[in-house]
């Protein structure tokens, strides 16, 4: 049997993000998640005869923010188009969107290039309700137009992703970036961030793109990863059995792990895009764009670079901190409180011990525990300066996480400071004296014998001594 070639997945993402404006994209109706159905509608967002759209300037501003954060070019003049299709959640039977001249184009976030980002309006909410009253025995749906007309930014990536975990990780970066811009709450459960995946495979080494399928609305990061993985497997299986992948839209069912084809009976789409005559072009001035650029906060991707290059953090630690705004600011506060402690040491405490301790204590997020940043910085300093052992440091941190307090006082109260550097040296000296045989064996190169001496140290310190430090002191005092 000839060996089948290896296939490489090629993944692009299309992300719709609801912008957190007060009002809808083209009318003054208030945006409110979870309101009673159809209580936030007007002639414009119900598509009544004669009603005309009016662009929300805040939404445009947010789109520019997003575009700049993604390194996009902001079009000096962009226009809206009508995208025509019939569906009950689309009240005008056309969606006002952008087509050949989007407001943002080109760009990059992390390792993934951005193709474009454009403004459009969201569809209404459609709920399947089973049997309808009027026509007995047939299925019906209910339309709630509250959500209809919410401003959306649609971000389209280049097909630069090559594995499902990478897709998930990149989407996390995007979400953090958008969250930190303050333009959306990017909540997948409430639908304010929705991701579709375009998936194809090609023989490794090939530059051509295979036929892609579209995975719709995967509503969590986990499902996104699993859905894409399942689709890659499906495509590989098709190709392995000599078949051809067909272009279609698929829905991933996380419960069964299966993929089902949507719109199979529908004929090919023909959206008949044309320029929206009811709206005028968007033409932000270069000065305005620069003003917006100047107002952007430091974003995760830049912060990660800074952590690596300026603070010397490892790529993993840098990413862990930078992609989590709350953790990053907690970390930076801790570093600022302890200017004499190496930021790498502080990073290890924050990303390691603090994350573990807060999980242990049942907190949602490490920055939400009772421990403040200065306290965690102090723990790092105390351990680093050998005021307390690593084990005592852990114990101190656990107490701060659970109940807070001043680290010096807490460690005093818990009796953690007794094993400071000098004391430990004295205890080690006494232990060597108490175990002369073991000391001799260690000197003679029998490393295992050190256990007996450490045992004494631990007994004396009630286990609080740092084992590594004790070992170092024993060897030092034995002249090794």
Partner 1 sequence: MIDRKQVLHVARLARLRLDDEEVERMSAELSSILDHVETMAELDIEGVEPTSRVVDAENVMRADDVAASLPRDAALANAPDPASGSFRVPSPQA
Partner 2 sequence: MSDVRDLSVAAGLAAIEARDLAAAEWADAYAGLPDELGAYLWRPDEPIGGEEGPLGGVPVAVKDIFCIEDVPTTAGSRILENYLPPYTATAVERLLGAGASVLGKTNMDEFAMGSSNENSAYGDVRNPWDTDRVPGGSSGGSAAAVAGGLAPCALGTDTGGSIRQPAAFCGVVGLKPTYGSISRSGMIAFASSLDQCGPFTRTVADAALLLRVMQGADPRDTTSTGIAAGVEMPSREDLSGVRVGVPRELASEAEGMEDGVREVMERTIALCESLGATVAETSLPNARYGISAYYVIAPAEASANLARYDGVRFGERVAAEGLDDMYELTRAAGFGPEVKRRIMLGTYALSSGYYDAYYGRAQRVRTLIARDFENAFADHDVLLTPTSPTVAFPLGSRTDDPLAMYMADYCTVPMSLAGVPAISIPGGLAAAPDGGPELPVGVQLVGPAFGETALLDAAHALESAIGFDTNAAWRGGADA
Q: Which residues contact 237 (CB under 8 A, 6 or more apart)?
A: none
Judged by beta carbon distances under 5 to 8 A according to partner kind, the member of Zn ion, Mg ion, partner 2, none in contact with residue 63 is: none
Residue 22 binding target from partner 1, Mg ion, partner 2, none, CB below 5 to 8 Å by type: partner 1
CB-nearer residue toward Zn ion: 145 or 349 = 145
Given candidates 12, 20, 74, 94, which one binds partner 2 under the rule CB under 8 A?
A: 94
3-class SS of residue 397 = helix
Among 122, 144, 154, 387, binds Mg ion (CB under 5 A): 154
- x/- site string to partner 2, residues 239 to 278, per CB under 8 A? -------------------------------x-xxx--xx
- Distance between CA 65 and CA 107 in Å, rounded? 13
**Which of 3, 34, 100, 135 forms a contact with partner 1 (CB under 8 A)?**
135
Question: Tokens standing for 439?
Answer: 């000391």
Closest CA to 302 of 327, 330, 321: 321
460 is a contact residue toward Mg ion (CB under 5 A)? no
Q: Which of 1, 3, 34, 128 binds partner 1 (CB under 8 A)?
A: 128
- Identify residues 74-93 at the interface with partner 2 (CB under 8 A): 82, 84, 86, 88, 91-93
Q: How far is the CB of 274 from partner 2 (least distance, A)?
A: 6
Closest CA to 24 of 67, 51, 57: 57
Closest alpha carbon to 250 in 274, 225, 231 = 231
Q: How far is CA 232 from the centre of its chain?
A: 23
Report the residue from 103, 193, 282, 292 that binds partner 1 according to the rule CB under 8 A.
Answer: 282
Instruction: Compute the least distance from the CB of residue 303 to partner 1, in Å.
Output: 29
Distance CA 353, CA 379 (A): 11
Residue 49 or 205 with smaller CB distance to partner 2: 49
CB 144 within 8 A of CB 37: yes
Q: Does 445 bind partner 2 (CB under 8 A)?
A: no
329-354 burial string, b = 16+ CB within 10 Å, else e? ebbbebbebbeebebebbbbbbbebb
Smallest gap from Cβ 266 to partner 1, in A, equals 10
36 to 65: interface string for partner 2, x by CB under 8 A: -------x--xxxxxxxxxx----------
- Using alpha carbons, select from 154, 167, 75, 69 the residue that is nearest to residue 112: 167
In contact, 175 and 37? CB cutoff 8 Å: no
Tokens 């990780």 — which residue? 169
Task: Write the interaction track for partner 1 spanning residues 72-91; mark x where CB under 8 A is met and - where it is not.
Answer: -----x-x------xxx---
From the list 72, 74, 121, 65, the residue with the least C-alpha distance to 94 is: 121
63 or 454: whose CB is closer to partner 2? 63
Identify which of residues 89 and 423 has a Cβ nearer to partner 1 in the complex. Answer: 89
When CB distances are held under 5 to 8 angstroms depending on the partner's kind, the choice from Mg ion, Zn ion, partner 2, none that residue 154 binds is Mg ion
Q: What residues does 14 pair with on adjacent strands?
A: 156, 196
CB of 49 to Zn ion, least distance (A): 15
Quote the Cα angle for 187-192-195, to 5°.
90
d(CA 180, CA 260): 35
Q: Minimal distance in Å, beta carbon 88 to partner 2?
A: 5
**Strand, helix or coil at 386?**
coil
Rounded to the nearest whole angstrom, what is the least distance from the CB of residue 118 to Mg ion in the complex?
8
Among 4, 5, 6, 30, binds partner 1 (CB under 8 A): 30
Count of residues binding Mg ion (CB under 5 A)? 1
Angle at 144 (CA atoms; ends 140, 149), nearest 5 degrees:
130
Give the nearest distance from C-beta 47 to partner 2 in angstroms: 4
Please report, as ranges, the residues that interact with partner 1 according to CB under 8 A.
Answer: 21-23, 27-30, 36-43, 46, 54-60, 77, 79, 86-88, 126-129, 132-135, 138-145, 267, 270, 272, 274-275, 277, 280-284
């Amino acid at each position: 049997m000839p060996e089948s070639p290896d296939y490489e997945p090629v993944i692009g993402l299309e992300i719709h993000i609801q912008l957190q404006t007060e009002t809808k994209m083209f009318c003054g109706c208030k945006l409110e998640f979870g309101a009673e159905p159809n209580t936030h509608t007007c002639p414009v967002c119900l598509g009544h005869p004669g009603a005309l759209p009016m662009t929300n300037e805040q939404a445009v501003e947010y789109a520019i923010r997003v575009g700049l954060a993604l390194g996009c070019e902001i079009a000096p003049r962009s226009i809206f188009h009508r995208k025509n299709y019939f569906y009950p959640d689309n009240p005008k039977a056309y969606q006002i969107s952008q087509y050949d001249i989007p407001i943002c184009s080109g760009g990059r976030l992390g390792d993934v290039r951005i193709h474009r980002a454009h403004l459009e309006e969201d569809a209404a909410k459609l709920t399947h309700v089973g049997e309808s009253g009027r026509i007995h025995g047939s299925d019906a749906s209910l339309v709630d137009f509250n959500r209809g007309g919410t401003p959306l930014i649609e971000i389209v990536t280049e097909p630069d992703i090559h594995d499902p975990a990478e897709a998930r990780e990149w989407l996390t970066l995007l979400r953090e970036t958008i969250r930190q811009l303050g333009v959306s709450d990017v909540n997948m459960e409430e639908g304010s961030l929705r991701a579709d995946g375009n998936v194809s495979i090609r023989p490794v080494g090939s530059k051509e793109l295979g036929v892609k399928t579209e995975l719709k609305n995967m509503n969590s990061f986990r499902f996104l990863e699993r859905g894409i993985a399942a689709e890659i497997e499906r495509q590989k299986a098709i190709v392995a059995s000599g078949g051809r992948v067909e272009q279609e839209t698929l829905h991933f069912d996380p419960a069964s792990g299966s993929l089902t084809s949507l719109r199979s009976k529908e004929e090919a789409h023909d959206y008949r895009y044309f320029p929206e005559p009811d709206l005028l072009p968007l033409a932000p001035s270069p000065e305005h764009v620069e003003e917006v650029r100047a107002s952007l906060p430091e974003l995760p991707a830049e912060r990660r670079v800074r952590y690596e290059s300026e603070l010397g953090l490892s790529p993993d630690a840098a990413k862990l901190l930078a992609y989590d705004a709350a953790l990053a600011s907690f970390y930076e506060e801790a570093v600022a409180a302890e200017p004499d402690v190496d930021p790498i040491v502080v990073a290890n405490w924050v990303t390691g011990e603090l994350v573990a301790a807060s999980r242990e204590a049942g907190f949602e997020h490490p920055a939400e525990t009772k421990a403040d940043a200065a306290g965690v910085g102090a723990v790092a300093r105390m351990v680093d300066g050998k005021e307390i052992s690593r084990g005592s440091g852990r114990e101190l941190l656990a107490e701060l996480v659970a109940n807070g307090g001043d680290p010096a006082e807490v460690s005093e109260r818990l009796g953690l400071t007794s094993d400071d550097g000098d004391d430990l040296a004295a205890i080690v000296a006494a232990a060597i004296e108490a175990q002369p045989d073991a000391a001799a064996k260690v000197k003679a190169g029998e490393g295992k014998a050190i256990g007996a001496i450490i045992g004494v140290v631990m007994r004396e310190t009630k286990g609080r001594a740092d084992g590594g430090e004790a070992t170092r002191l024993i060897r030092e005092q034995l002249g090794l």
